[in-house]
Protein backbone atom coordinates (compact mmCIF):
# COMPACT_ATOMS: atom_id res chain seq x y z
CA UNK A 1 0.00 0.00 0.00
CA UNK A 2 1.27 3.47 -0.90
CA UNK A 3 2.40 5.75 1.90
CA UNK A 4 0.59 9.03 2.29
CA UNK A 5 3.48 10.93 0.67
CA UNK A 6 3.38 8.65 -2.39
CA UNK A 7 -0.41 8.96 -2.56
CA UNK A 8 -0.18 12.75 -2.40
CA UNK A 9 2.33 12.75 -5.26
CA UNK A 10 -0.09 10.73 -7.39
CA UNK A 11 -2.95 13.00 -6.26
CA UNK A 12 -1.09 16.17 -7.26
CA UNK A 13 -0.14 14.76 -10.67
CA UNK A 14 -3.65 13.44 -11.38
CA UNK A 15 -5.35 16.72 -10.50
CA UNK A 16 -2.87 18.71 -12.58
CA UNK A 17 -3.68 16.51 -15.57
CA UNK A 18 -7.39 17.08 -14.95
CA UNK A 19 -7.39 20.80 -14.09
CA UNK A 20 -4.00 22.12 -15.13
CA UNK A 21 -1.48 24.04 -13.03
CA UNK A 22 -3.12 27.11 -11.47
CA UNK A 23 -1.08 30.29 -11.45
CA UNK A 24 -0.52 32.50 -8.46
CA UNK A 25 -2.55 35.61 -9.21
CA UNK A 26 -2.84 37.58 -5.97
CA UNK A 27 -1.96 41.26 -6.31
CA UNK A 28 -3.22 42.14 -2.85
CA UNK A 29 -1.01 42.93 0.11
CA UNK A 30 -0.67 40.38 2.91
CA UNK A 31 -3.02 42.44 5.10
CA UNK A 32 -5.58 42.70 2.26
CA UNK A 33 -5.50 38.92 1.90
CA UNK A 34 -5.68 38.28 5.63
CA UNK A 35 -8.77 40.42 6.10
CA UNK A 36 -10.32 39.08 2.92
CA UNK A 37 -9.82 35.56 4.26
CA UNK A 38 -11.44 36.48 7.57
CA UNK A 39 -14.43 37.75 5.61
CA UNK A 40 -14.57 34.50 3.60
CA UNK A 41 -15.09 32.36 6.69
CA UNK A 42 -18.38 30.42 6.65
CA UNK A 43 -19.87 32.20 3.66
CA UNK A 44 -19.89 32.14 -0.14
CA UNK A 45 -17.26 33.76 -2.37
CA UNK A 46 -19.86 36.26 -3.57
CA UNK A 47 -20.87 37.30 -0.06
CA UNK A 48 -17.29 37.65 1.15
CA UNK A 49 -16.31 39.66 -1.92
CA UNK A 50 -19.27 41.99 -1.43
CA UNK A 51 -18.37 42.44 2.25
CA UNK A 52 -14.74 43.21 1.40
CA UNK A 53 -15.71 45.75 -1.26
CA UNK A 54 -18.21 47.35 1.10
CA UNK A 55 -15.57 47.64 3.84
CA UNK A 56 -13.02 49.24 1.49
CA UNK A 57 -15.60 51.63 0.07
CA UNK A 58 -16.64 52.75 3.55
CA UNK A 59 -13.08 52.87 4.94
CA UNK A 60 -10.49 53.25 2.13
CA UNK A 61 -7.46 52.58 4.37
CA UNK A 62 -6.79 50.00 7.07
CA UNK A 63 -5.87 52.87 9.36
CA UNK A 64 -9.44 54.17 9.05
CA UNK A 65 -10.76 50.68 9.85
CA UNK A 66 -8.44 50.49 12.86
CA UNK A 67 -9.72 53.81 14.19
CA UNK A 68 -13.38 52.91 13.64
CA UNK A 69 -15.69 51.47 16.33
CA UNK A 70 -16.16 47.75 15.87
CA UNK A 71 -19.92 48.26 15.48
CA UNK A 72 -19.33 50.38 12.37
CA UNK A 73 -17.02 47.72 10.92
CA UNK A 74 -19.76 45.16 11.48
CA UNK A 75 -22.27 47.34 9.66
CA UNK A 76 -19.94 47.65 6.68
CA UNK A 77 -19.42 43.88 6.33
CA UNK A 78 -22.98 42.78 7.10
CA UNK A 79 -23.45 41.19 3.67
CA UNK A 80 -20.75 38.62 4.43
CA UNK A 81 -22.52 37.04 7.40
CA UNK A 82 -21.27 36.66 10.98
CA UNK A 83 -20.51 40.38 10.90
CA UNK A 84 -20.21 40.80 14.66
CA UNK A 85 -17.66 38.00 15.05
CA UNK A 86 -15.67 38.97 11.96
CA UNK A 87 -15.55 42.65 12.87
CA UNK A 88 -13.94 41.78 16.22
CA UNK A 89 -11.42 39.51 14.46
CA UNK A 90 -10.47 42.28 12.05
CA UNK A 91 -10.13 44.75 14.91
CA UNK A 92 -7.95 42.34 16.91
CA UNK A 93 -5.59 41.81 13.96
CA UNK A 94 -5.20 45.54 13.41
CA UNK A 95 -4.70 46.15 17.13
CA UNK A 96 -2.07 43.40 17.27
CA UNK A 97 -0.13 44.82 14.31
CA UNK A 98 -0.27 48.33 15.75
CA UNK A 99 0.81 47.21 19.23
CA UNK A 100 3.50 44.70 18.20
CA UNK A 101 4.87 46.26 15.01
CA UNK A 102 4.01 49.93 15.31
CA UNK A 103 2.27 49.99 11.92
CA UNK A 104 -0.42 48.18 9.95
CA UNK A 105 2.00 47.07 7.25
CA UNK A 106 2.39 43.27 7.05
CA UNK A 107 4.92 42.61 4.29
CA UNK A 108 7.51 41.73 6.93
CA UNK A 109 5.90 38.34 7.53
CA UNK A 110 7.29 37.09 4.21
CA UNK A 111 10.85 37.46 5.53
CA UNK A 112 10.16 35.44 8.67
CA UNK A 113 10.00 31.69 9.26
CA UNK A 114 6.49 30.74 8.11
CA UNK A 115 5.87 28.42 11.03
CA UNK A 116 6.81 31.09 13.53
CA UNK A 117 4.32 33.39 11.77
CA UNK A 118 1.68 30.66 12.00
CA UNK A 119 2.24 30.48 15.74
CA UNK A 120 2.18 34.24 16.24
CA UNK A 121 -1.01 34.86 14.30
CA UNK A 122 -2.96 31.85 15.55
CA UNK A 123 -2.42 33.23 19.04
CA UNK A 124 -4.76 36.06 17.97
CA UNK A 125 -8.28 35.03 18.89
CA UNK A 126 -10.30 34.13 15.79
CA UNK A 127 -7.31 33.67 13.46
CA UNK A 128 -6.96 30.02 12.53
CA UNK A 129 -4.27 28.05 10.74
CA UNK A 130 -6.10 28.21 7.41
CA UNK A 131 -6.45 31.98 7.53
CA UNK A 132 -2.78 32.81 8.01
CA UNK A 133 -1.50 29.89 5.90
CA UNK A 134 -3.38 31.34 2.91
CA UNK A 135 -1.45 34.58 3.31
CA UNK A 136 1.85 32.72 3.62
CA UNK A 137 1.12 30.57 0.57
CA UNK A 138 -0.39 33.14 -1.79
CA UNK A 139 1.38 36.36 -0.82
CA UNK A 140 4.69 35.15 0.52
CA UNK A 141 5.06 32.18 -1.86
CA UNK A 142 5.99 29.91 1.02
CA UNK A 143 5.48 26.18 0.55
CA UNK A 144 2.67 26.09 3.11
CA UNK A 145 -0.47 24.02 2.40
CA UNK A 146 -3.74 25.74 3.38
CA UNK A 147 -6.56 23.37 4.32
CA UNK A 148 -10.13 24.60 3.95
CA UNK A 149 -13.35 22.57 4.15
CA UNK A 150 -13.09 21.34 0.55
CA UNK A 151 -9.46 20.25 0.90
CA UNK A 152 -10.26 18.61 4.23
CA UNK A 153 -13.23 16.70 2.80
CA UNK A 154 -11.27 15.40 -0.21
CA UNK A 155 -8.31 14.39 1.99
CA UNK A 156 -10.64 12.54 4.37
CA UNK A 157 -12.43 10.66 1.64
CA UNK A 158 -9.13 9.64 0.06
CA UNK A 159 -8.00 8.24 3.40
CA UNK A 160 -5.08 10.64 3.76
CA UNK A 161 -6.59 11.59 7.12
CA UNK A 162 -9.61 10.46 9.10
CA UNK A 163 -12.92 11.59 7.61
CA UNK A 164 -13.56 13.17 11.02
CA UNK A 165 -10.30 15.11 11.01
CA UNK A 166 -10.49 18.86 11.54
CA UNK A 167 -8.82 21.16 8.98
CA UNK A 168 -6.14 22.06 11.54
CA UNK A 169 -5.29 18.40 12.20
CA UNK A 170 -5.25 17.73 8.48
CA UNK A 171 -2.85 20.63 8.00
CA UNK A 172 -0.48 19.32 10.65
CA UNK A 173 -0.45 15.86 9.08
CA UNK A 174 -0.24 16.78 5.39
CA UNK A 175 1.75 20.02 5.25
CA UNK A 176 5.11 18.30 5.98
CA UNK A 177 4.66 15.75 3.18
CA UNK A 178 3.29 17.88 0.32
CA UNK A 179 5.69 17.57 -2.66
CA UNK A 180 8.06 20.50 -2.90
CA UNK A 181 6.59 23.40 -4.81
CA UNK A 182 3.09 21.89 -4.98
CA UNK A 183 1.33 23.47 -2.01
CA UNK A 184 -0.49 26.20 -3.92
CA UNK A 185 -1.44 24.16 -7.00
CA UNK A 186 -2.60 21.18 -4.94
CA UNK A 187 -4.60 23.45 -2.63
CA UNK A 188 -6.39 25.13 -5.53
CA UNK A 189 -6.98 21.91 -7.47
CA UNK A 190 -8.38 20.13 -4.41
CA UNK A 191 -10.75 23.04 -3.83
CA UNK A 192 -11.92 22.87 -7.44
CA UNK A 193 -12.31 19.11 -7.23
CA UNK A 194 -14.25 19.44 -3.98
CA UNK A 195 -16.61 22.00 -5.49
CA UNK A 196 -17.19 20.31 -8.82
CA UNK A 197 -16.92 16.56 -8.14
CA UNK A 198 -16.24 15.57 -4.53
CA UNK A 199 -19.15 17.61 -3.20
CA UNK A 200 -20.29 17.47 0.40
CA UNK A 201 -23.66 16.14 -0.74
CA UNK A 202 -24.19 13.92 -3.75
CA UNK A 203 -20.54 13.55 -4.78
CA UNK A 204 -20.06 12.54 -8.42
CA UNK A 205 -17.95 9.49 -7.62
CA UNK A 206 -18.63 7.77 -10.94
CA UNK A 207 -16.99 10.68 -12.78
CA UNK A 208 -14.05 11.12 -10.41
CA UNK A 209 -10.49 10.83 -11.73
CA UNK A 210 -9.41 9.81 -8.22
CA UNK A 211 -11.81 6.88 -7.94
CA UNK A 212 -9.08 4.20 -8.15
CA UNK A 213 -7.40 5.66 -5.05
CA UNK A 214 -10.57 6.50 -3.13
CA UNK A 215 -12.16 3.91 -0.86
CA UNK A 216 -15.03 6.30 -0.09
CA UNK A 217 -15.92 6.57 -3.76
CA UNK A 218 -15.73 2.85 -4.30
CA UNK A 219 -18.00 2.25 -1.29
CA UNK A 220 -20.39 4.90 -2.56
CA UNK A 221 -20.70 3.30 -5.99
CA UNK A 222 -21.01 -0.19 -4.52
CA UNK A 223 -23.79 0.99 -2.22
CA UNK A 224 -25.60 2.59 -5.15
CA UNK A 225 -25.41 -0.58 -7.26
Report the distance separating Cα 48 and Cα 79, nearest Å.
8
Domain boundaries, the chain: 4-22+146-224, 30-138
Per DSSP, helices labelled H in the chain are 4-19, 30-40, 45-58, 62-66, 70-76, 83-101, 114-122, 129-138, 149-158, 167-174, 183-196, 215-224
Cα-to-chain-centroid distance, residue 37:
8
pLDDT at 23: 80
The CATH superfamily holding the domain 30-138 is Hypothetical protein; domain 2 (1.10.340.30)
Catalytic positions: 130
8 A C-beta contact, residue 174 and residue 14: no
8 A C-beta contact, residue 184 and residue 26: no
Neighbour-count burial of 51, counting CB atoms closer than 10 A to its CB (0-12 exposed, 13-18 middle, 19+ buried) = buried
**Residue 179 neighbours by CB under 8 Å, 6+ apart:** 5, 8, 9, 12, 186
pLDDT at 152: 97
pLDDT at 223: 67
Per-residue pLDDT tens digits of the chain, which is 225 residues long: 355 889 999 999 999 999 999 887 767 899 999 999 999 998 888 999 999 999 999 999 999 999 999 999 999 999 999 999 999 999 999 999 999 999 999 999 999 999 999 999 999 999 999 999 999 999 999 999 999 999 999 999 999 999 999 999 999 999 999 999 999 999 999 999 999 999 999 999 999 999 999 989 988 777 665
pLDDT at 1: 36
Of 185, 143, 220, residue with least CA distance to 18: 185
The fold adopted by the segment(s) 4-22+146-224 is Endonuclease Iii, domain 2 (1.10.1670)
pLDDT at 24: 75
Amino acid sequence: MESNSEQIQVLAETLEKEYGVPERSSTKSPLDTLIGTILSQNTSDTNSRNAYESLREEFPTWSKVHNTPVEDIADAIRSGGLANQKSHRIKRVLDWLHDHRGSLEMDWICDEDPYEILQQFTDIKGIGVKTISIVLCFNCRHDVFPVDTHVNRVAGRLGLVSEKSSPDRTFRKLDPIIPEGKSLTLHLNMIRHGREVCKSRNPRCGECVLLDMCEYGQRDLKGAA
